[in-house]
Chain A
């Protein structure tokens, strides 16, 4: 079967760094994506890792280890607007399988 695990909730203060982990079990793995969703909003794409290693996009970085079936999203210099839910998703076959999401709360 296919499954993804990520923490349900993470809290941090403005300016801090937070890491959201994601472990997965799937067949036909192509890559790991991360999506952000604000309350009442639609998910929006953040990053994609098709190969092992770190991808950096501004304040956000994402990491993948295919041998460990593990990845993480790293958010630096946290801002209040980063408070949202973050979903990891694996590309498996012809579709994306989403995790249950990690709710990030950033406090002043």
Chain B
């Protein structure tokens, strides 16, 4: 597609349930990033992928969070046993390669707004 897409756009779930968030990056972009943004806050880095590998998982808040990427394209962020503090906007971005130069602009998707009741 023309841009990064994410689904669902909104998700309301009950505490304790598992959720899956999907990101479809721009075709040809090898790097993919997940961020979390709480209301009125900055972007909190969660994880990034280069191809299907995740060299840096240091931002994942707990072992309830996991992510995978298959075929160098679509990525899924899974949150198990959701808690109310997981409520936030989850943003995905993709770039041609890893951060480090002007050609590595990150293009963001519209985000998934997660509300845990």
A residues at B contact (CB < 8 Å): 30-31, 33, 41-45, 48, 50, 87, 91-101
Contact = CB atoms under 8 A, between A and B. Distances in A.
B55 interface: yes
Contacts of B56: 93-95
A50 B108 contact: no
Interface of B: 33, 35, 41-43, 45, 48, 50, 55-56, 91, 93, 98-102, 104-111
A42 B100 contact: no
A44 B108 contact: yes
Nearest to B102: A48
B100 A31 contact: yes
Contact of A91 (B48, B100, B107): B100
Nearest to A45: B105
A42 B108 contact: yes
Contacts of A87: 42-43
A99 to B, nearest CB: 6
Contacts of A101: 41-42
A66 to B, nearest CB: 15
A43 B91 contact: yes
Nearest to A100: B42
A96 B97 CA distance: 12
Given A42-B111, A96-B106, A91 B43 contact: no
A40 B45 CA distance: 19
B64 to A, nearest CB: 22
Given A42-B111, A94-B55, A31 B101 contact: yes
Find the residue from A31, A43, A100 having the highest chain B CB count within 10 A: A43
A95 B105 contact: no
B23 to A, nearest CB: 12
A28 to B, nearest CB: 9
